[in-house]
Amino acid sequence: MSDVISILLIDPVPKDRAAILSVLGDRVGEVIEAATAAEAWEKVTDRRRLTMMIAGVDAGTGEEILDLRDHLHIEIGLFPSMICSRDDMTAFYPRVLEIDRLFFKPVNRGVLLEWFEAASQIDVAAVIESGSVDAGPVSAPPPEIETAPSHEPAETPVQPHETSSVQLPEEALPVGTRLGDYKLLREIQQDADFALFEAEQTSIGRKVALKTLYRKHRKDIRWVQGFVNEASARASVNHPAISLVYECDQEMGVNFYTLELVDAPSLADLARRRSELDESVIWKIVEACSSALVYLRESGMSHRLISAQSILMLRSGQARIANPVRGRGAGLTVEQEREQMESLADAIAPFLKKSGGDPQLHLLVERLGSDRIDAVNSIDGLSRVLSPSTPEDDLTGAEIAKLNEQKTDRTAIVVGTAFGVLMLAGFAAAYFFLGSKPEVRDLSGMSKIPEGVFPYQDGEETEVSEFWIGQYEVTISDYAAFLEDISLNPGKIRKIRHPEQPESKVTFKPEKWDEIYEKAVKGGKFYGGEIDPNSPVTGVDWWDAYAYAKWRGGRLPTEQEWEKAARGRAGSIFPWGDEMVNSNFNSGLDHEAGGAVEGGQIDGYRFWSPVDAILADESRYGVIGLAGNVSEWTGTWDSHPDSPDKQVPIKRGASFATKSGFELTARRAGESADERNFWTGFRIASDRATPRIIGGASPGNKGGE
C-alpha cells in the first residue's frame, strides 16, 4: 500500500479550501479538490484508495456529502472524514462514524493538525476488526450522484455506524457529561451563556478547566465565531504570568475549549479569609500584572481588566493571572487603563500593613487610579514606577525603592555635613537675585485617534480617518521656541504663512507677548491670573495658530477631528462622560469672584491653568483640556451665525471665561481670523505620530534649519 497521503477536499468556497491546504502544507502528497459531491464523485471514480476526506457542508449539502462518503467506503474502502460547517450540525450526529470528526468553521489550526496526524495513522483493518464500524451490506448509491460503471467492491464493505443520539440541555451541562476526551467533574461557575467546569482529559489523566458555550447558541454563527475567536486568541498567549489555553473543539453541538487548571486561591479569596501576604510577594504581584498588561497590549489583545478575582496565588508565592483575553483587537482605552490601575490597587490594598510597612508600597497604592497630581493611571506609568532607568533594572520594585531611600539618606548625610551652609547661602542668593523660576515641562506629546465613525453633533454618524492630536494645548514655552526659530531663520516665514493671510499682518507675536512671556518665565501674574511657561499661549489669532501648526509639521484639527478626540466613539457629552462635573475642567463658573463662589473656588483656577493641571478633563484617548481652560482654533471655516454671508474660522471647547454651553458639541464662531483675546488658544493635529518642525528639527530641539 502506498504511503502517500491522499485527501479528497470538498468545499464550495475556494477560500475555505485554500485555508485548509495552507495549514496542512507539504504533509499531504495528493489533493483532489472539488466544489460539490457530484464533482468529487467524477474525480474519484477510478481511484482505489483515499487516506481521508475533508468536506465543508451546510444544511443543504450535508446529507449529500455523507451519502458520497458512504458510497466511497463501499467502492474503495474505509477512510476517516472531517466534516466542517458554519451551521448547526446536530442533524448529522447519527451518521458520524467513530473515525470521523465534526468541526465548526473556521477550523482552528491546532485542532486540524491534531486530527490530521491522528487520522493519517488510523489502521482501517483494526478499526473494522474491533467492531467500532460494523461490516455488512450497504444500500445502493444515492440517486443524486451519477455512478460510473460498477467497480470491484472493496474487500470488506462497511455499514456506517450510527452513534446513539444524546439529548443535552440547551444551557449548562450536567456534571458527568463526556465531551470527546473530557469528562466534566464539577462546575466552577456559570452565567447566562457560558459555564466553566473542572474536567478530566481521560486519555492522559490530566485535570483541566473547560469552558463551554451553551448549545442554545449553536445555530448563531456570531456566537460560535466569537467563542472560537476568543479561544484562538487565548491559545496564542505566551506569558509566564498568564494561564494557558490548550485546545478548542466541538462535540454534540457544544463548543468548548480547555484551559490550564490553576488550583490556587485568588486574591479575593485570600482577602475574605483575611490572609496575610509578605510585602515582597505584593511587589511581585504588581510586577507580574504590569508585565502581563504590557505583553497583552503589545500583542494586540483585547482583554478584561485584571482584578482580585483573576489574580491567583500559587504556593510558591508567584502570581498566576487567569487568562483575561477576549480576542484580537484594540487594547484598553485610556479610561480603561485608569480603571485597571484602580482595580489593581483594590486587589492589593487589603494586604497592606495597617501601620509601619513599606512606605513606597503604600504610596504606590495611593497613586494607582487616583486623582492625585502624581497619579499612576496608565500601563506605561506603572512600568515607569517599577522599572526606572537605573543600573538596578534587575531588582524588584521593593528593592529599588529601598535602595533609592538608602542612597538618598547617605547623600543627605554627606552633603549636609560638608556643604550644608554653602548650599543654603547659594540658594538664598539665587532666590533673591533670580526669583523662583517655574519648571518648563515637555508637553508636546501626541495622542492617536483611530479611524472610524462617531456620532458627530446631533448623532449623525461621521467617519474620520486616523490622525494624531496634541495631548495638550500649545504652551507659552512651545510658542516661544517657534518665535525664536523664525527670528533666527526668517526664510521659514514664507513657508508657514497661510496663502490668504493679509499683507498687513507682519508678525506672529501674540497680543502683549513681551509682557506675558516675561511674567511667565518668572512664574508671575498677568491681569491678576497666575501664569507660567506651561500655561496655554493666548492672544493668538487664527493666522498665528495656522503658522505655528505648519511650522511644527502639523496642522489645525478640523471640527470633526476635534470633536472625535473629545467625545470618542461613544459620543459622550463631556470628556469624562455624560454628566456635568463642575470641578473636572477650568470654566468660568468661578471666574468672577462674588456671591457664594470665590474666584477659582470650583476648579482651582480663576484664569487659565497650566495645560496639564486638570487631569480630570481627559478624553478617552488621553487628550487633556478639551472641555475648558481656553477655547481652541480649528481648521474649519463656516458661516457666522449673525452674518451668513461671512465665512469665519470655528473655535471649539469652553474656556476659563465661559459660563454656559459647556457641551463638547457646542460650536463657537470666531468674529474673524484676526480675532485675538486671552481666552483662545489652540492645539495641533497631524497625520503622523511624530511631526517634525519645518526645516528638520524635532520637537525636542525646537529651532534651527
- Rounded Cα gap, residues 488 and 705, in angstroms: 9
Per-residue model confidence (pLDDT) at position 545 = 97
- Rounded Cα gap, residues 386 and 398, in angstroms: 9
Domains and CATH numbers, the chain: 6-130 (3.40.50.2300), 178-260 (3.30.200.20), 267-387 (1.10.510.10), 446-686 (3.90.1580.10)
Per-residue model confidence (pLDDT) at position 221 = 78
**Interior CA angle at 521 toward 517 and 526, to 5°?**
55
Comparing CA positions, the residue from 474, 541, 538, 539 lying closest to residue 502 is 541
SS3 693: coil
Per-residue model confidence (pLDDT) at position 316 = 80
The gap between the terminal CA atoms of the chain, to the nearest Å, is: 77
Q: Block means of pLDDT (10 residues each) for the chain, length 705 residues?
A: 81 91 89 93 86 90 90 86 82 78 80 84 62 41 36 36 54 88 89 91 86 88 84 86 87 87 87 89 93 91 91 88 87 90 93 83 90 84 75 46 47 43 46 63 93 87 93 96 94 94 94 93 88 96 97 96 93 92 92 71 91 93 95 95 89 93 93 94 94 67 37
Cell of 456: 458627530
SS3 577: strand
Cell of 217: 447558541
Sign for the pseudo-dihedral over CA of 106, 111, 116, 119: negative
- Rounded Cα gap, residues 691 and 698, in angstroms: 8
- Rounded Cα gap, residues 525 and 605, in angstroms: 13
Give the single-character DSSP code of 690: S
Sign for the pseudo-dihedral over CA of 23, 25, 31, 33: positive
- Rounded Cα gap, residues 113 and 510, in angstroms: 68
Comparing CA positions, the residue from 414, 391, 415 lying closest to residue 403 is 391
Q: Where are the beta strands (DSSP E) in 113-205?
A: 178-179, 182-190, 194-201
Structure confidence by residue, pLDDT tens digits, 203-236: 778 889 999 999 888 888 788 888 888 888 888 8
The residue written with cell numbers 470654566 in the block is: 587
* Distance (Å) of CA 331 to CA 399, 446, 455, 501: 31, 18, 22, 43
- Rounded Cα gap, residues 36 and 33, in angstroms: 9
